[in-house]
Amino acid sequence: MALTKEEKEEIAQKILNSIEAKYGNIPLVNQVLAQDPDLFIPTANMAKAALESDEKKLDAKTTYLCAVAAATGLGAQHCVAAQGRHAKEAGVTKDELREAMFIGSYMAMTRAQSYAFRVLEELYKEE
């Protein structure tokens, strides 16, 4: 039997409460997504599976270094800060965190160059 709207809202609120209890705040993305429990609940479950599952193959340090590198490459400043805090709590050193941030920013740079340089070469290919 499908859940009622009220049941979904209750589940969403429990997830928000859990996030706040664990991290001390509720990120804006979660606050907004929680307004639509059909989107928020699976998204929150996926985040938990990706970052916190007991079945994960990567340890916490590696997981959060990956998260920081990805967030850096995407330019997601709030995610960099949040995942950086989690990484530090997992025992990541400042040097390790800096290296992950460099890798993420390098990958973003080469992506931008790849697009831009293809346009450049296309514009001047007949000259």
Single-letter amino acid, residue 7: E
pLDDT tens-digit series, residues 12-64: 999 999 999 988 899 999 999 999 999 999 999 999 999 999 999 999 999 99
Question: What average pLDDT score do residues 65-70 get?
Answer: 98
Q: Take residue 114 and report the two structure tokens written for it.
A: 């790849």
Question: How far is C-alpha 100 from the chain's CA centre?
Answer: 14
**Residue 24 gets which letter from DSSP?**
S
Single-letter amino acid, residue 38: D
**pTM above threshold 0.75:** yes
CA distance 108 to 53: 28
CB count, 10 Å around CB of 51? Answer: 16
Q: According to the model, what pLDDT value does residue 22 have?
A: 87
Residue 62's nearest CA partner among 72, 78, 73, 50 is 50
